[in-house]
């Protein structure tokens, strides 16, 4: 999230907080957790700690995103399958005034440990990271059903959207259902805008400055549909010149997408930047944003694109409550032709979206989000 800031606590910390995440990669759950952790660490009297189940990544998202005053502890293994079984031992017999977790695995684990008395927690806030049963079937879905039975130790359970709340409610214990609240994801506009000021390397800055750039920011995996983004971009280039599709993110589909770009004759118009710990200077250098996901919990990257001043953002109907986002275009379907048409309209529009974006971001401040987690 940009240049690291010192946590601004005055006086001795009297309250201890813990945020638990699975990995050190810039996924949606990690972004929300680190935004909340940084906000809480800025408040007097709080000592904030982050436990990452996996080992530190390279580049490390937590080291880039979190203030220096937050203690971060990493696991021994990079793969969640190996790291997660050790997490209970790292939490055993600890005591915190406030704990926040953001994934079904860590939610169930911390909830069960609290109920069994293996960890002492004053207030436990758990957050759903996605609408799971839209994405999984069969044995994996059965496993998630069992994990939801482990809930019940929380004081508040956060769903990102009304759709997500309705989706998860049937799988919860009765007690957990009464704790369920809809709380939109936060975005720390101030931190993002400070991070935007980081200078891009000259060669990249030059390339981005000479094109109209459409940014796809996310992992190159099946659910994000980078192939669909490229297909829509190909249709767009049949009527628009001087445009460039920028992929910022890594994943197993990258070789396939590169091959697809070459096959379509677009190798010179598509740029692959890989994963960046600080994505915001690239966002600031791109005028348009594109998200083609099949499904999401809620696409926080769209809020970050708004904060970076993008003047046109197109996304597919991949999550609930997208109609609450002002100043963006949500397509009716996932058809490449419709996405291309929406991009073309954005490229040709002179609409000033700064005020709709401000109105969308203002009620999603990190301070308001943390206040709700704390029950204030």
Residue 7's pLDDT band (cuts 50, 70, 90): low
Instruction: For 167-218, write each residue's pLDDT tens digit.
Output: 999 999 999 999 999 999 999 999 999 999 999 999 999 999 999 999 999 9
Pairwise CA distance, residues 148 & 237, whole Å: 46
Tell the CATH topology of 15-183.
Answer: Rossmann fold (3.40.50)
Pairwise CA distance, residues 325 & 186, whole Å: 13
**DSSP single-letter state for residue 249:** B
Is the CB of residue 129 less than 8 Å from the CB of residue 104? yes
Beta strands in 4-43 (DSSP E): 15-21
Determine phi and psi for 257, rounding to 5 degrees. Answer: -70, -40
Residue 2: predicted pLDDT: 46
Only one residue has tokens 């009620």, namely 363
Domain boundaries, the chain: 15-183, 201-362
Q: Taking residues 145-150, what's their average pLDDT?
A: 96
Pairwise CA distance, residues 33 & 52, whole Å: 11
Beta strands in the chain (DSSP E): 15-21, 46-52, 71-73, 95-101, 120-127, 156-159, 180-182, 212-217, 243-248, 270-274, 288-291, 312-315, 329-330
**DSSP single-letter state for residue 78:** S
Tell the CATH topology of 201-362.
Answer: Rossmann fold (3.40.50)
pTM of the shown model: 0.86
Encode 6-19: b = buried (16+ Cβ within 10 Å), e = exposed: ebebeeebeebbbb
In SS3 terms, 324-369 reads as: HCCCCEECCCCCHHHHHHHHHHHHHCCCCCHHHHHHHHHHHCHHHH
Pairwise CA distance, residues 281 & 193, whole Å: 9
Beta-carbon contacts of residue 4 (< 8 Å; ≥ 6 apart): 63, 64, 65, 66, 67, 68
Determine phi and psi for 281, rounding to 5 degrees. Answer: -60, -35
Instruction: For 28-56, write each residue's pLDDT tens digit.
Output: 899 999 999 999 999 999 999 999 999 99
Instruction: For 281-334, write each residue's pLDDT tens digit.
Output: 999 999 999 999 999 989 999 999 999 999 999 999 999 899 889 999 999 999
Instruction: For 258-273, write each residue's pLDDT tens digit.
Output: 999 999 999 999 999 9
CA atoms within 13 A on the CB side of 177: 10
Only one residue has tokens 């800055």, namely 205
Domains 15-183 and 201-362 share a fold: yes
* Sign, Cα dihedral of 157, 136, 316, 248: positive
Pairwise CA distance, residues 160 & 194, whole Å: 26
- Residue 309's nearest CA partner among 214, 193, 185 is 193
- CA distances from residue 219 to 105, 247, 357 in whole angstroms, order as listed: 21, 9, 24
Instruction: For 226-268, write each residue's pLDDT tens digit.
Output: 999 999 999 999 999 999 999 999 999 999 999 999 999 999 9
Residue 12's pLDDT band (cuts 50, 70, 90): low
CA angle 268–274–277, rounded 5-degree value: 140
In the chain, count H helices and then E strands.
17, 13
């Amino acid at each position: 999230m940009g240049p690291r800031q010192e946590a601004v606590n005055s006086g001795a910390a009297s309250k201890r907080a813990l945020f638990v995440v699975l990995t050190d990669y810039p996924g949606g759950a990690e972004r929300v957790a680190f935004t909340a952790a940084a906000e809480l660490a800025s408040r007097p009297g709080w000592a904030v700690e982050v436990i990452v189940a996996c080992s530190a990544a390279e580049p490390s998202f937590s080291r880039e995103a979190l203030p220096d005053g937050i203690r971060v502890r990493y696991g021994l293994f990079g793969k969640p399958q190996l790291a997660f079984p050790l997490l209970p031992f790292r939490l055993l017999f600890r005591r915190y005034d406030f704990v926040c977790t953001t994934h079904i695995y860590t939610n169930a684990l911390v909830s069960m440990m609290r109920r069994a008395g293996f960890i002492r927690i004053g207030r436990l806030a758990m957050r759903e990271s996605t609408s799971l049963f839209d994405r999984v079937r069969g044995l994996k879905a059965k496993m998630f059903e069992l994990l939801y039975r482990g809930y019940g130790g929380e004081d508040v359970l956060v769903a990102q959207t009304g759709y997500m709340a309705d989706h998860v409610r049937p799988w919860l214990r009765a007690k957990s259902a009464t704790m369920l609240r809809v709380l939109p994801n936060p975005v720390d506009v101030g931190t993002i805008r400070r991070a935007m000021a980081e200078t891009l390397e000259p060669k990249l800055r030059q390339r981005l400055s000479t094109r109209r750039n459409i940014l796809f920011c996310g992992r190159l995996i099946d659910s994000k549909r980078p192939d669909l983004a490229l297909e829509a971009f190909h249709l767009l280039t049949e009527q628009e010149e001087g445009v460039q599709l920028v992929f910022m993110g890594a994943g197993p589909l990258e070789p396939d997408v590169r091959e697809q770009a070459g096959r379509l004759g677009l190798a010179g118009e598509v740029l692959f930047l890989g994963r960046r710990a600080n994505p915001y200077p690239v966002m600031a250098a791109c005028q348009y944003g594109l998200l083609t996901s099949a499904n999401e919990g809620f696409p926080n990257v769209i809020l970050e694109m708004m904060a970076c001043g993008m003047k046109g953002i197109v996304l597919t109907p991949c999550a609930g409550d997208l109609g609450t986002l002002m100043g963006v275009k949500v397509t009716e379907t996932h058809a490449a032709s419709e996405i291309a048409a929406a991009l073309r309209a954005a490229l040709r529009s002179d609409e000033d979206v700064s005020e709709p974006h401000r109105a969308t971001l203002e009620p999603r401040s990190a301070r308001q989000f943390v206040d709700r987690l704390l029950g204030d």
